[in-house]
Amino acid sequence: MHCIKCGFEESKVVDSRSIEEGNSIRRRRECLNCKNRFTTYEKIEYTPISVIKKTGERQLFNRDKVQKGLLRACEKRPVSVEQIEKIVDEIEMELNNSMEKEIEASKIGEMVISKLKEVDEIAYVRFASVYRQFKDINEFKKELNKLLK
């Protein structure tokens, strides 16, 4: 690890801490040349996951897309950004742990729906109405009736 001040290649680790629920490590380092202290982060590198869209097109999994969809569904609802981040983190972790290299977009959508249902029912219905492309009010009513049971 190069020192950010003098560029020297050797440093010693002064402190290490686990962050992001054990998925990353924060290390405080000290340059052996100039004694400058700096912080580095190590994160687990996962194999990229391809998402198979309805059209058959493949794209790399993008957690930002999931997060944006959740933010839209939770707009003006009592759902914190931390709760949304937690949902996105859980989905990403489940995908990485599944050992699948490709996954259909519909499976990701269903994962979002099931997690959102536990957090906020209104946001869940909002997301489901867009994701499942409700055509009329009857489809909306069916979904609401499922919630009421």
Put simply, whether the predicted model's pTM sits higher than 0.95 gets the answer no
Count the residues in the chain.
149
The count of other CB atoms within 10 Å of the CB of residue 117 is 16
CA distance 84 to 118: 12
Torsion angle of the four alpha carbons 83, 85, 88, 90, in this order, in degrees rounded to the nearest 10: -70
**pLDDT tens-digit profile of 30-87?**
999 999 999 999 987 778 899 999 899 999 999 999 999 999 999 999 999 999 999 9
Look at the alpha carbons of 113, 114, 115, 118 in this order and tell me if their dihedral is positive or negative: positive
CA distance 99 to 111: 16
